[in-house]
Structure 1
Amino acid sequence: MEILYKSTRGTGECVTASQAILKGLSDDGGLFVPTQIPVLGIPVEKLASMTYQEIAYEVMSRFLTDFTEDELKACIERAYDSKFDTKEIVPVKKADGAYYLELFHGATIAFKDMALSILPHLLTTSAKKNNVKNEIVILTATSGDTGKAAMAGFADVPGTKIIVFYPKNGVSPVQEKQMVTQKGNNTYVVGITGNFDDAQTGVKKMFNDKNMAEELSNAGYQFSSANSINIGRLVPQIVYYVYAYATLYKNGEIKAGEKINVTVPTGNFGNILAAFYAKNMGLPIEKLICASNENKVLYDFFSTGSYDRNRDFILTTSPSMDILISSNLERLIYRIAGEDADKTREMMNELSKDGKYEITAEMRAQLKDFYGNYATEEETAKIIKKLYEDTGYVIDTHTAVAACVYEKYKTATKDDTKTVIASTASPFKFTRSVMDAIDHKYDAMEDFELIDKLSEIANVKVPNAIEEIRTAPVLHDTVVEVAEMPAIVKKLLNA
């Protein structure tokens, strides 16, 4: 069965998976969605005997139907290899009654590695399939993790360049050091004097700038995206939820067909949307628990049906979730609007113009799969400390937001369904916040002293991604105003 892709704001024209991956964003500003969600249709008993790579092929081949078996398997093989520090790629750890899906064992110790390890290969394969002659420029905004993971994936990949914009004072010291020390002749990192939403809006504007596209095309370049708006990012994320379910079954934690809940710390809505797609493929997921930090725009949306970004932007200890415009929510809006592109476009225009929109009562009724809540900074720190003291298991700040919201969900509903918590970053990525939560006595330590101390108390080896940046020189130090973003892109590309 062929799966094609259409825009959430379009008039019904369809493109192939490889064309959707290449474009990243539709010409009309919408996001690509599959014409239908394919059925997984593989018994869990069979899934349980498969490797991560084998499950990845089964899931992704159902979505990326214009890739040949050899093409897709080659992409998977190159992506999920020794750059991950565990053989199983995503271990599942049980702690305090929940199952933590550790998505941070890749090159940059965050869940973005799961999709950004394979996206460069999907993209270059897509370019060949569509006879693209231009060099592909990956243009992306990051709230901390996407940028580094994308650069690690694309560094020195022939036929590509990557330009990453990040909020200069809106990421953790480790996140920034990872980015500004990135090697690769085709990688560029630019700080902006603004927040993540400013960076993301600036990138979207460049994607929609027809004059700029023509100018760059004449210079031999075309834009594509590594943000979670690219369907080539979303599809690989579905895989690890299927793998988690198969692992729980294999380990005797659940019976075949038994439903589980999934809790995801959410900013841009891509990771939890992937779980929603997995559920719609037939994976037995009951409730999708959407966890927000103090920038609780998604919690308010699920509570009221109103999406309103007109609020103070709060810098928290979980910076990858410091987001007020959750781009991937548009894909869910499109679905609950009955795949009505006009209605979706209208709401997205309202968001752009007034900073808010409201869904109908009929649309709200279709959100029963979801539960939303949020964790304060104090609650986030408390749960890191409690989990460590009770079990010895150390989680990062983003995972802690999810763990806290899961506790609130259990208290509110008394639901004891077994629950997978997406553990989206290594605690070593946010060491100061994690160690501060465990005990204030560590406050006076330098960053790398703290890292060594965390390794000692958690009894976990310091990841290679951290060791590499201890003494790495800064290679990128450009900082610009938001309005200067197009100019710096042209300058970096000599266009």
Structure 2
Amino acid sequence: LRQCSMCDGAELDGHKTYFTNVVVEGLAADGGLYVPKKGFPKISKKEWLRLVSMTYPERALVLLEKCIHPLDISASDLRTMILKAYGSNFSSERVAPVKHLIHNQYVLELFHGPTASFKDLALQLMPQIFAHCLPPLCNFLTLVATSGDTGSAVLSGFCQLTGADRHRTGVLVFFPEDGVSEIQKLQMMSHKAGNAKVVGVLSDFDFCQKAIKRMFGESGLTGSLAVEYGTVLSTANSINCMGSVVYHASAYLDLCRDGVIGFGEPVDVCIPAGNFGNSMSAVYAKQMGVPIRRVISASNHNRIISDFLTTGEYDLRGRPLLPSHSPAIDILRSSNLERFIHHLILNVLVLLMKNHCEKCKCLLLNNCSFNKTSGGFIPHFGVCEAVYLHYIVELLAH
């Protein structure tokens, strides 16, 4: 996967950005999130059918080999990482089993990992990939903002590193002091690994996330860490989606294996929407060829994504964060939604260009403006139309 910053859709400074760069850097130099330059690789129906009878680790290996060049991580090394990530540390042999709920509704169980967080599916693997890609003779400090799920999972994942990898890799987790569930707060606060620390912040998740992005932009801080401590800042955001793509694909393949559907029959996927990373992973799985018809974003009463997809406006001005019984999705600044808009803009541009439409001249929205303005944006009507055409949002009251 070639990568680019979503701020302008271009490779920075004319330099090609590859997988290893993205893993180590986390954020692009211009502050944008990385996105696959040409999307995720498309897999043929014949290839998908071969995966139906495979185990979860076997499926993960095939899918991730499509995304990671062997010069970045060899097939044998990747296989070792996957077997370690999805082994006895999960309470289910199927890793992420699909269970029948009622009628034509099925539930994907993502709580069988070591911390019972859905983030375990990505973060038992990501630290191994991160350690593999690190350049020599330098230490790395990974900054993490969490509303609960990511924090405990990233601590568990990085504590599995051993030897020099563990010595060179530190993790600093920021969480809202009063904005995570009690059990996840205890999981984080009781973590004893020497390469990881947690910090409770007297604010909300959005503040934690914004503070980390600001740290990356402070040249005085990053320069001092590099010169005085030989340490470079990183963040885990940009590659977590790959592990999540696997379980969306695996869930569909399980339904095929169990005779619930035949391959090619479309399904709708309903996902609780906080930072929108899980939903974005389902979109990427669809890009790879999983027959997902609609991604349904389920919101609590903060409903920022619900309102955006129904009104076309993302406006945070005067909008307080409302605490709920689902604190993991008590989020107003959904950073991964920017990835979604980036891809929609590119798709709409292609359609407009094909139709030689003059309206394409108006489509100049810079995705980074979301972070630079006073707290909102209204994308071009073509982007909003694309949302309605391809995705549906439903508000599920808690």
What TM-score, normalized by structure 1, do the two folds share?
A: 0.72
Q: 1:259–1:99: structure 2 CA closer, same or farther, 3 Å change rule?
A: same
1:297-325 deviation digits (Å, cap 9, x = unpaired): 10011001111122111011111100000
Moved more, 24-33 or 57-66: 57-66
Q: How many equivalent pairs are there?
A: 368
**Which of 6, 19, 26 is the equivalent residue of 1:8?**
6
Question: What's the CA shift for 1:41?
Answer: 2.2
Q: 1:321 aligns with which of 312, 329, 333?
A: 329
**Residue 268 of structure 1, aligned match among 259, 266, 275:** 275
Larger deviation, residues 358-367 vs 33-42: 33-42
Deviation at 1:353, TM superposition (A): 2.2
Give the one of 329, 335, 338 matched to 1:330. Answer: 338
The runs of 5 or more residues in structure 2 that have no matched partner are: 350-361
Determine the structure 2 residue equivalent to 1:281.
288
Q: 1:224 aligns with which of 234, 240, 259?
A: 234
Asked whether 1:358 is paired with 2:371, we answer: no
- Equivalent of 2:175, from 142, 157, 166? 166
Letter in 2 for 1:373: E
Residues 16-25 or 5-14, more deviating: 5-14
How do residues 248-397 of structure 1 correspond to structure 2 at under 5 angstroms?
Answer: 248-310=255-317, 311-338=319-346, 346-367=366-387, 368-376=389-397, 380=398
Q: Residue 305 of structure 2 aligns to a residue in which SS?
A: helix
1:239 and 2:241 aligned: no
Q: CA deviation at 1:71?
A: 2.3
Structure 2 equivalent of residue 209 of structure 1: 218
Q: 1:176 to 1:278 in 2, by over 3 A?
A: same
Q: What are the Cα deviations for residues 220-275 of structure 1, in whole angstroms up to 9, with x where unaligned?
A: 1111112xx32x20111100111111100111100121111111101101101110
Distance 1:35 1:140 in 2: 25
Per mean C-alpha deviation after superposition, the further-off stretch among 70-79 and 17-26 is 70-79
Q: Which amino acid aligns with 2:41?
A: P
| Structure 2 letter corresponding to 1:8 | M
Distance 1:183 1:174 in 2: 16
- TM-superposed CA distance for 1:350, in Å, is 4.4
When the two chains are superposed, the root-mean-square deviation of aligned CA atoms in Å is 1.7
Alignment pair present for 1:28 and 2:30: yes
Task: Provide the secondary structure at the position in 2 that maps to 1:88.
Answer: coil
Checking the alignment, whether the CA contact within 8 Å between 2:365 and 2:380 is kept in structure 1 is no
The residue number in structure 1 matching 2:67 is 63
1:175 equivalent to 2:177? Answer no
Q: Offset of 1:12 from its aligned partner?
A: 2.5
Q: Which amino acid aligns with 1:95?
A: L
Given that residues 156 and 184 in structure 1 are in contact (C-alpha distance below 8 angstroms), is that contact kept between their aligned partners in structure 2? no
Q: State the Cα distance separating 1:344 from its structure 2 match.
A: 7.7
How many angstroms apart in 1 are the aligned matches of 2:159 and 2:364? 36
- State the SS of the aligned residue for 2:107: strand
Aligned ranges for residues 111-190 of structure 1 at < 5 Å? 111-127=118-134, 131-155=135-159, 157=161, 158=166, 159-190=168-199
Structure 1 spans left out of the alignment, 5+ residues: 381-495
Cα separation, partners in 2 of 1:291 and 1:70, compared to 1, 3 Å = same
Deviation, 1:112, is 0.5
SS of alignment partner, residue 87 of structure 1:
coil
Q: Return the structure number with greater relative CO, CA threshold 8 A, min gap 6.
A: 1
